[in-house]
């Protein structure tokens, strides 16, 4: 039997145990289950190994791809939070270290927030400056985020936060073009006028968490759609559970995701879970304030803006797609449905 497996954990995972996402024959998994459980990282909360039988075929690798796409979203959202605070308040690396270290004690507690706090402590031996300040602003990528975006389009599942993160890396790689454009394209003055520094820091924290919820909601929705399309029969709550240790996106709030799917295995979207509703409702005012500040200062926040647009679209009972359908029927006779009676209709749009 051939048996595929997604593995996440980086260098530390190789030494101390990764999160394992095996997929293939269930019988084959039983043959290696004890080895997998011994190798896998153990969750801090209950010491459970971060491995489970994911599903048939290539489901393990698919889940790993989605993990990586969520990772893209997480990293981009953190970078956008940093960028706004840096440009609006002129914070030092030491101040950022203290902010992210504090955030890591609460709802944002995660490996990536911890890593970010530590990044700001590192001093470059050559220049004596914070190392992060001398790193070129060109982000690389291996392609898994792109794969996820392509597959989401194929399955008709919206993941705008993650796709914006992929686009963000592409735009970052166009350094020479951006330098030239900066010299000729105008924008607003980058001056923060929204209140105290602490008010903005607190608002960015709220916006980051709300955006993170949306990003994970998109990833889990894609897993649900793929499970139905490819007959993977994925257990989304258990998948969130095996991401609690060893992997790059390990975070405290994965326990909340597992709890949400334990409450309702058929949950259509994390946003409609009661606990996540409360979390976003309590933060949406700060979230909108942050996006407004960024727009007023001309600071790009593609993933955070995409998260808010996703949230507002998902909660909209009526969207302007009626106009799109009218346009499609006008030029291509693609037909439309009506709100007042069933059926498929076509209009003569150019009556004389």
**What residues are annotated to the active site?**
64, 71
Q: Is 36 exposed, middle or buried (0-12, 13-18, 19+ CB in 10 A)?
A: middle
Residue ranges in 158-298 assigned as alpha helix (H): 160-173, 175-184, 197-230, 236-242, 254-263, 274-281, 284-297
How many CB atoms are closer than 10 A to CB 139? 17
Between CA 31 and CA 14 the distance in angstroms is 22
Cα separation of 194 and 198, whole Å?
Answer: 11
- Give the separation between CA 272 and CA 253, rounded to whole angstroms: 16
Name every residue whose Cβ is closer than 8 Å to that of residue 113 and which is 6 or more positions away in sequence: 78, 100, 103, 104
Say if CB 149 and CB 162 are below 8 A apart: yes
- Tell me the C-alpha distance between 168 and 249, whole Å: 19
Pairwise CA distance, residues 83 & 78, whole Å: 9
Maximum C-alpha span of the chain: 78
Question: What distance in Å separates the CA atoms of residue 117 and residue 75, rounded to the nearest whole number?
Answer: 13
Structure tokens at 326: 């009218």
C-alpha 249: how far from chain center: 10
Determine phi and psi for 5, rounding to 5 degrees.
Answer: -155, 130
């Amino acid at each position: 039997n051939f048996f595929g497996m997604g593995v996440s954990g980086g260098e530390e995972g190789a030494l101390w145990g990764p999160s394992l996402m095996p997929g293939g024959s269930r019988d084959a998994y039983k043959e290696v289950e004890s080895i997998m459980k011994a190798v896998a990282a153990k969750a801090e909360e209950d010491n459970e190994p971060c491995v489970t039988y994911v599903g048939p075929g290539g489901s393990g690798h698919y889940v790993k791809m989605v993990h990586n796409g969520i990772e893209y979203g997480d990293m981009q959202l953190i970078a956008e939070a940093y960028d706004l605070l840096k440009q609006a308040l002129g914070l030092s690396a030491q101040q950022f270290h203290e902010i992210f270290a504090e955030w890591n004690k609460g709802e944002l507690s995660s490996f990536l927030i911890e890593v970010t706090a530590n990044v700001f402590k590192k001093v470059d031996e050559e220049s004596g400056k914070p190392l992060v300040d001398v790193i070129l602003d060109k982000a690389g990528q291996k392609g898994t985020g792109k794969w996820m975006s392509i597959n989401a389009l194929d399955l008709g599942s919206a993941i705008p936060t993650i796709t914006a993160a992929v686009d963000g890396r592409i735009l970052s790689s166009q350094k020479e073009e951006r330098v030239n454009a900066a010299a000729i394209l105008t924008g607003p003055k980058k001056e923060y006028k929204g209140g105290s520094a602490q008010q903005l820091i607190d608002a960015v924290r709220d916006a980051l968490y709300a955006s993170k919820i949306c990003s994970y909601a998109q990833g889990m929705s894609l897993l649900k759609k793929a499970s139905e399309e490819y007959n993977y029969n994925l257990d989304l709550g258990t998948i969130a559970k095996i991401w609690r240790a060893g992997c790059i996106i390990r975070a405290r709030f994965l326990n909340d995701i597992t709890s949400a799917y334990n409450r309702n295995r058929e949950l259509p979207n994390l946003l409609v879970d009661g606990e996540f509703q409360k979390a976003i409702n309590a933060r949406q005012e700060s979230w909108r304030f942050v996006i407004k500040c960024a727009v007023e200062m001309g600071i790009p926040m593609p993933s955070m803006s995409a998260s808010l647009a996703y949230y507002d679209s998902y909660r909209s009972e009526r969207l302007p797609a009626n106009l799109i359908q009218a346009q499609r029927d006008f030029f291509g006779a693609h037909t439309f449905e009506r709100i007042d009676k069933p059926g498929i209709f076509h209009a003569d749009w150019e009556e004389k």
